Amino acid sequence: MTKHELETLRDEIRALDAELLETAARRFEVAKEIGLVKEKDGLQVRDRAREKVVISEYVCNATSLGIDEDIASQLAGILVEGSVRVQKGRKSRNLHGKTALIVGGAGKMGEWTSRFLSNRGAEVLIWDPRGKLEGYKSVKSLEQSANKADIVVVASPPGTCQEELQAVLDSRPEGLVFDLCSVKSHISGNLRRGAKEGLLVTSVHPMFGPRVPTPKNQNVVICDCGCQKANEQASNLFSKAGARVSIVGLERHDELMTYVLGLSHLCTMIFAGTVARSGNEISAYGDVLGPTFGRMSRMARELSNESKRVYHDIQTLNPHTRQMIANMETVTRELRKASLDADPARFGKIMESDKKYFEVR
């Protein structure tokens, strides 16, 4: 084996070690969130029965992967002890004494927000005509509850958000108000009027889904509606939990989301629909797929399980969608010509153009 070959393999080890550390860091963040839940519900940090299950699962999985059981058991033990240490550490309850109303709290992001705020000390109330959220008190009067709450989060589906947001604003709340919509254009007028009338209102877009356990190292976008104080309060709420917070204008937000969300979703659906029309069952690709096909297949599977109504609203409520689709159609036509051209020059030119665009500046 040459020195170059050895270094190549060591580089792979370094990359894998970095992934292991990143995974461990994420695991400890989830453990910290579990610690907050335990403290809130008066549970003991240490759960010996659960620890035995975790170690047993490690050993069982190690056997199927060809890893020594002793190594798996030791690794599991180290991670369990680390999690216990994290859960026993100092916790931030910076919302203690605050009341938060989650409008649309029975939905997936409503449930995430309820846990997030409750874990940090807030008393969380739910208003949602679509259902209840187990473990939290539901209220009947939206107006009265919104008026008295320190924080009001509108986590309603995009299609009903405008009406329910306006009902909150009509209650003249004294506390911080923000929505969680993925698209802002259809509610921008309501938000701006609320800010102009002196209400503490802003707009928030967490760039992650409800399966993410904590906002630590996640992007959160604050959309400026005209109230600087509200922007600062919402920013502090998420940045204190470790989120990467940025502030943009309402209109700029939707322009960016056309591509960040809208295009990404459509491209994934195009991949899924095209493969489905191949004449092969998806299982036929199992033994021959490469990393790219595997990643795109996982993305397509995940997307297909998301809310169909919400994902449609992301497209249809964004005024920039039509132009984005026109751009996509233009690129598709260019790729068709380049892919069928015997001369590779046109295809290579497209790849070179893409490379230049994505170079870090």
At 203 the three-state DSSP class reads: strand
Across the range 77-105, mean pLDDT stands at: 90
pTM of the entire predicted model: 0.86
Residue 220: Cβ within 10 Å count: 20
Please give the Cα distance from 225 to 251 (Å, whole number).
10
Residue 358's pLDDT is what?
93
- How many angstroms from the chain centroid is the CA of residue 310? 14
Q: Are 302 and 210 contacting, i.e. CB atoms less than 8 angstroms apart?
A: no
At 90, phi and psi to the nearest 5?
-65, 130
Residue 90's pLDDT is what?
75
Confidence category of residue 361, pLDDT binned at 50, 70, 90: low
Q: CA nearest 117: which of 104, 133, 98?
A: 98
Q: Are 165 and 172 contacting, i.e. CB atoms less than 8 angstroms apart?
A: no
Residue 142's pLDDT is what?
96
Asked if residue 294 has pLDDT above 80, the reply is yes
The encoded tokens of residue 67 equal 């890893």
pLDDT digits (tens, 9 = 90+) for 314-357: 999 999 999 999 999 999 999 999 999 999 999 999 999 999 99
Q: CA nearest 318: which of 277, 279, 260?
A: 260
Please give the Cα distance from 76 to 94 (Å, whole number).
32
Residue 360's pLDDT is what?
72
pLDDT digits (tens, 9 = 90+) for 135-146: 999 999 999 999
Asked if residue 300 has pLDDT above 80, the reply is yes
**CA end-to-end span of the chain, whole Å?**
38
Please give the Cα distance from 168 to 154 (Å, whole number).
8
Asked if residue 3 has pLDDT above 70, the reply is yes
Residue 1's pLDDT is what?
65
Residue 115: Cβ within 10 Å count: 21
Please give the Cα distance from 327 to 320 (Å, whole number).
11
pLDDT digits (tens, 9 = 90+) for 56-72: 999 999 988 999 999 99
